[in-house]
Amino acid sequence: MESVKDESEFLHDLVKGLAAQFGSNCEVVLHDLHRPYDSTIVAIENGHVTGRQVGDPGTNLGLEILRGTQINGNKYNYVTQTKDGRMLRSSSIFMKNSKGEAIGSLCINYDITELLVAEKTLHSLTMAGQADVVKESFVSNVSDLLDALIQEAQEQVGKPVAVMQKEDKMRMIQLLDSKGALLVKKGGEKICQYLNISKYSLYSYLEEIKTSEEMSREQP
């Protein structure tokens, strides 16, 4: 399969079938990664689980695949959380073409919030084989996704922008680049605005980061 469109009818039926099988708490999403990242969702059932619809963007996990930060990217049975605090058990499976490039993904997000409330009696169902918690941002527009990535990067740097030195800003840019933030339309512009730097400074910092990474790889 070279494109999600090649199997569009089957994949749309699969989305509907999985959602029907597991009920209204199960969101099933089909992403076409050949589309602009701000509108990758081409099919979705039970979108009320994360508040998304057809035409909305993918999550940060998809950006990491496109950026090359994650090679395989498939994640099964992981726990994540929506903006309003609902807990989901999720799986994300990426489709690739003959060149090994990611062309789409099928994602399942099951709302287990009510099951967790009854954890004592449903423990074997909700918690068996629990995987590591994965931070995934479910958004209805790509601007919110960028905000989430920027917030996460700042938390990792551990300083407010007002007291950041050049090294801190470079670290934050490196984190954002590794997460694929610069692949998003106007991602660079938003990062510059947030860090109060020019586009020239942004690309200069990126070049320094690239040079530093290359030197690190060359060292024995």
In the predicted model, is pLDDT for residue 123 greater than 60? no
- Which of 170, 171, 176, 175 lies closest to 188, judged by CA? 176
pLDDT for 72: 74
Q: How confident is the model at residue 103 (pLDDT cuts 50, 70, 90)?
A: very high
- Which of 57, 30, 7, 64 lies closest to 181, judged by CA? 64
Per-residue pLDDT tens over the stretch 29-42: 999 999 999 999 99
In the predicted model, is pLDDT for residue 192 greater than 70? yes
3-state secondary structure the chain: CCCHHHHHHHHHHHHHHHHHHHCCCEEEEEEECCCCHHHCEEEEECHHHCCCCCCCCCCHHHHHHHHCCCCCCCEEEEEEECCCCCEEEEEEEEEECCCCCEEEEEEEEEECHHHHHCHHHHHHHHCCCCCCECCCCCCCCHHHHHHHHHHHHHHHHCCCHHHCCHHHHHHHHHHHHHCCHHHCCCHHHHHHHHHCCCHHHHHHHHHHHHHHHHHHHHCC
What residues pair up with 29 in beta bridges, in sequence order? 44, 107
The model's pTM is: 0.68
